[in-house]
Structure 1
């Protein structure tokens, strides 16, 4: 039986360092939202106020969605080392963001339905009470937005965490390969933030509508602002669905990093004849981290899998690279040679 240390060739399945600040922020916002919901429902029941009851139950939908975001962070962190996840658990967060965006679309549809109903069947509005509720909702959501905004600022770091460097790097990461602008931000945090901002926007629009109705008798402004708010919420939600869906479906071949991979291989100095790319797969495994499989055809003996790996390793986004080199038939009496190499395990 062979007794050798295989650790230099064992690959990690953890490609994303997580976002602890966002996890703490979403938990805190969930608690604030849930507490506000309970207070409003209790006050609505005690004072027989439908406005307070309605806003309380509306808050419950956001508490559930933000709770889902917090749960996704916890699950991704807990199962980060689970080998059943071939490329890590980061997409748990993206999946939560997708589900939250679907939830937002549902909220927008309910807002439209309620507003249309009010247009055709107007109801008397208790303006003073409703304005107080709207101002309370706006204040709570501004506080929550500040908390989540702070979590985004602290979590948007591109530094490697402990053990994130490659074990046998023999090159430096060039400064022009940092690509801060290429990666998407935390989509799960963005989903929670959208819920808060959407609620704040609807509260602000409600205040405008209620003031118009109370001061000028414009009762029609209330359902109109409801429809405007629904359109805004739906637009934000559809944008989030698009971005999370792209990640979940691995639609990354139009990402700028793909062009950089092609250019790096085609323009490598010292290779007399640029290898031809016959197969290329790029997919996201972290917020700004990608896995790559590339297959090349070349007659140049200088083009090896290790040389290509080192070339692509200069790009910090590429954390898991597989390279296959194919030699044309008749080249050195070999019909084909396939070489594959992955980034080594992180220490």
Structure 2
């Protein structure tokens, strides 16, 4: 077990650092990203062409949105790659934070694109005109297949990684939106409602903004070192306090290194003396299995005297 010293803390205490078995970072999803990007680039070209031919705002707007999705997929892929780069002497945590910033950038990109879409749709709603509903339905049906496949490729990784979840949500939302466009085209053919096209565009914007808001909130929270979703700091504190020989816990911090790796630092006051490496190994194992915290750093203190570190709000 290696021994390290936190910045600004007194050197007369013992520190232990260990990585849990599950703190190995995101799985590689290179193939899923590559396939998703290629399929969506081709679909953007098809959708823009037929949207122009059919004079359909819904298709043209969705082509623009899908182009932003291509950029989002590329951004997420680049961040996932950067997060796998090894730490260096000047970047001791590597580039893991890139995945958080990519998720945040994706959320902002989507919100801006949907704002532009909504503005154009409102203007067109005041003067609707008919389009080629059959073409719109055919292209939208192709979108259901392409976006659905792209989402399926990213589904597994989206469960544990906010960056991949952002890309997955884009694809899944697009598949549902395309399905809605097919339905709107069918209603237009049945009833001749020309105003359905801009109305569907507004529905697209509202649906994507609603789905993106959570991504924006979570990524912004993690960018400012907030406690990751699913980790209860009070519960972590209580669990550490309950360990044998621990009298008190202070300077407890939990934050995200990236979108799939959680770090913890804490000072444990243990008057009986340093418990040994076996205690630290068991502690790291418990943290990763109970709280999915895979990067813990623990400082053992014998007397619990002030050590110069900044104290957070007390939890005990």
TM-score range (shorter-chain normalised) is 0.7 to 0.9
Q: Structure 1 residues 58 and 257, CA, compared in 2 at 3 Å: closer, same or farther?
A: closer
Q: Structure 1 residues 85 and 137, CA, compared in 2 at 3 Å: closer, same or farther?
A: same
Q: Structure 1 residues 337 and 71, CA, compared in 2 at 3 Å: closer, same or farther?
A: closer
User: Within 2, Cα distance between the matches of 1:253 and 1:71?
Assistant: 22
* Structure ranking higher on relative contact order (CA contacts 8 Å, 6+ apart): 2
Greater Rg by CA: 1
- Paired residue for 2:194? 219
Q: Determine helix, strand or coil for the equivalent of 1:250.
A: coil
Q: Structure 1 residues 219 and 123, CA, compared in 2 at 3 Å: closer, same or farther?
A: closer
Find 1:285's aligned residue among 257, 268, 283.
257
Given the alignment of the two structures, is residue 203 of structure 1 paired with residue 178 of structure 2, yes or no?
Answer: yes
Q: Determine helix, strand or coil for the equivalent of 1:219.
A: coil
Given the alignment of the two structures, is residue 29 of structure 1 paired with residue 36 of structure 2, yes or no?
Answer: yes
Aligned-residue Cα RMSD (Å) equals 3.3
Q: Which runs of 4+ in 1 moved over 6 A?
A: 10-14
Range that drifts further, 51-60 or 216-225: 51-60
User: Within 1, Cα distance between the matches of 2:144 and 2:164?
Assistant: 20
User: Within 2, Cα distance between the matches of 1:199 and 1:59?
Assistant: 8
Which structure 2 residues correspond to residues 1-347 of structure 1 after superposition, within 5 A? 16-20=24-28, 22-41=29-48, 48-51=53-56, 55-77=62-84, 79-149=85-155, 152=156, 155=157, 185-252=160-227, 256-269=231-244, 271=245, 275-287=247-259, 289-297=261-269, 300-302=271-273, 309-310=280-281, 312-313=283-284, 314-316=286-288, 317-325=293-301, 327=303, 336=305
Q: Is residue 161–residue 260 contact of structure 2 (8 Å, CA) maintained in 1?
A: no
Q: Is residue 304–residue 325 contact of structure 1 (8 Å, CA) maintained in 2?
A: no
User: Within 2, Cα distance between the matches of 1:54 and 1:289?
Assistant: 36
Structure 1 unaligned spans of 5+? 1-6, 157-183, 329-335, 341-347
- TM-score normalised per structure 1: 0.71
User: Within 1, Cα distance between the matches of 2:306 and 2:107?
Assistant: 47
Q: Structure 1 residues 286 and 60, CA, compared in 2 at 3 Å: closer, same or farther?
A: closer
User: Within 2, Cα distance between the matches of 1:311 and 1:244?
Assistant: 31
Structure 2 unaligned spans of 5+? 5-16, 310-316
Q: Determine helix, strand or coil for the equivalent of 1:256.
A: coil
Per-residue deviation at 1:260?
3.8
